[in-house]
Amino acid sequence: MASKEIKIGDKAPEFTLRSMDGGDISLKDYVGKNTVVLYFYPKDHTPGCTKEACEFRDNFRKFNSKDAVILGVSLDGQVSHRKFIQKHDLPFPLLSDEDAKVSTVYGVYKEKKLYGRTFWGIVRTTFVIGPNGRILAIYPKVKVEGHVEEVLASL
């Protein structure tokens, strides 16, 4: 499933994904109400992803004060997400994109190389989506260090 490249100003692709508690969360739930920080990350319980999630956690109140909600998306299932949330006391939902459909539409599911091995996975990327449903900022190929502060500054 090919997707056109998403650019700042575009309408964010609508999605509905299963959250860690079994309920569905849709982008349309926030349109007209909140800015959405939609961050795609490769895998629960890995060092970089844990650091990124904990930095979002540690700044959660700052995002809240700007009427921004944080939604994390990976290919992991609900059980993995629940354990990740409990272990690190994450106050925001993690969404399961097990079939990579949403990650593909957002253009973050790509072929990657690591230690000479080629595989498909999520390239760490963050989208800031305004209350009007339009893309306000895109952070591709995120380096975890300083990323959360950069996103906060853009709000």
Place of tokens 């009007």: 132
CA distance 63 to 81: 21
Catalytic residue among 25, 37, 38, 49: 49
Q: Is-catalytic flag, 49?
A: yes
Q: Is 96 exposed, middle or buried (0-12, 13-18, 19+ CB in 10 A)?
A: buried
Q: Are 52 and 147 in contact (CB under 8 A)?
A: yes
Active site residues per annotation: 49
